[in-house]
Structure 1
Amino acid sequence: MTVTIMTERATPIDTLSATATFENLLQTVAEMNTPVGFKAELIRGKIIVSPFSKLRYSRRMRLLREQLQAHVPKGHFADTSPFLFRFAAAERGYGPDLYVADEAAFDEEGLHADGAALSLVGEFTSVSTKDADWNEKLDVYGLLVPVYLVVDMQGSEITCFWDPSPHGYRSRKTVSFGEPLHVPEPFDFAIDTTGF
């Protein structure tokens, strides 16, 4: 198994046992002492270390979190704190940029929460994470998470995916920054993207 740091290009930094199980890898990710400004995730069966979002992302993340918080399902909350969510069926562990999750999932012992607790995930693309956000994470979230928002920082667009199924999301809508974007149930409101 390879541990990779994602900057502008993925670079291997260590090798792990090829026989490592999903649970072992997930535990390693959760316990990693990553460099300041970086987070670790389990993507495509590899431990990937990537930088936190750039400063210019902060306002957009805050604006989106504040709007979502006003419309979260009962017992859920919106946050950007770095927590790892496990998707056991796909053998993946992601630390979303922004998420809405059931508060009860954080009453459990351990270092990672169950992906089933998520009602929404938001990923803010960067050069180093764009491929995973638009492909791998879309496939995994599309099996379970009710709503997935991809904030495409390079394209100045936001896309909402919803209606998960065994084959992925059934619906999607994309708007340019500055246009409203409707987020369906369980939220049912329009995101104001004028500040994006």
Structure 2
Amino acid sequence: MTERPTISGIEPYSFEDMLDILDELDVPGYRAEIVRGGFVLSPWSKGFYHRVMEQVCEQLKPRLPEGHRISCGPFLYVFPGDACAYGPDIHAAHEQVFETESNRLDGEALSFVAELTSPSTRNDDLTGKVEVYAGAGVPVYLILDMQQQEATVYGSPSAKEYQIRIKKPFGEKLPIPDPFGCILDTSEFHRPKKNTRS
């Protein structure tokens, strides 16, 4: 489902049309995003991702810019210029962004985004989303690579790239750039130990 949808020779849908289709999609067990003009489905997160997401929120909440809120709830942020609509795992934005009845929030209003990778989204999390978030001026983008067990943070966006990039394996402390200017402790981000029966 990554191809741009068409109907027997008719022009591809506009981005607005695709957002309307996204509203109607019903794919149990999956969530959908629009990536570069195509639909991408990814499975729901694994249970232990919740612990990791909560820890990120708890650590960053005291450092949020004034009036901003951080959440790991499912919200859709749109980037019309890139034909993308993402539902980031963790996101922070000014509280005014949420004062709307629309489910399509302005991606340029984000102050922080974090994605926890899955096999189906990992490539775009590591490449395409870096460009989109930088181009939208999102100050900080954090990638928690759950497959490689490492964290990468980007800061100081400029055009389609970030000027700051720092990578650390899980277990180490990761400096988070301004406007947060803090240290993220990743020591509890590892997978849970396998249950063994005695």
- TM exceeds 0.5? yes
Which of residues 63, 66, 75 is equivalent to 1:74?
A: 66
CA drift at 1:31: 3.7
Aligned 8 A contact 2:76 2:86 in 1: yes
**What's 1:128 paired with?**
120
Quick check: which has more Rg, 1 or 2?
A: 2
2:77 and 2:129 mapped to 1: Cα distance? 12
Deviations 1:60-83 (A, max 9, x none): 111111111121111111111111
1:7 maps to none
Q: What is the aligned partner in structure 1 of residue 110 from structure 2?
A: 118
* TM-score, normalised via structure 2 length: 0.87
Q: Which runs of 4+ in 1 moved over 2 A?
A: 14-19, 30-34
Among residues 157, 166, 183, which one is paired with 1:164 in the alignment?
157
Q: CA RMSD in A?
A: 1.7
| 1:32 matched to 2:25 | yes
**Within 2, Cα distance between the matches of 1:175 and 1:88?**
32
Within-5 A mapping of 1:19-168: 19-35=12-28, 37-143=29-135, 144-168=137-161
Cα separation, 1, equivalents of 2:27 and 2:76: 13
| 1:41 and 1:49 in contact (8 A); partners too | yes
Give the Å deviation of 1:127. 1.0
AA partner of residue 159 (structure 2)? P
When the two structures are aligned, how many residues end up with a matched partner?
A: 185
Greater shift after overlay, 16-25 or 100-109?
Answer: 16-25
Q: Check if 1:193 corresponds to 2:186.
A: yes
- Give SS of 1:181's match: strand
Q: Which runs of 5+ in 1 are unaligned?
A: 5-11
- The DSSP-based 3-state class of the residue aligned with 2:161 is coil
**TM-score (normalised: structure 1):** 0.88
Unmatched runs of 5 consecutive residues or more in structure 2: 190-198
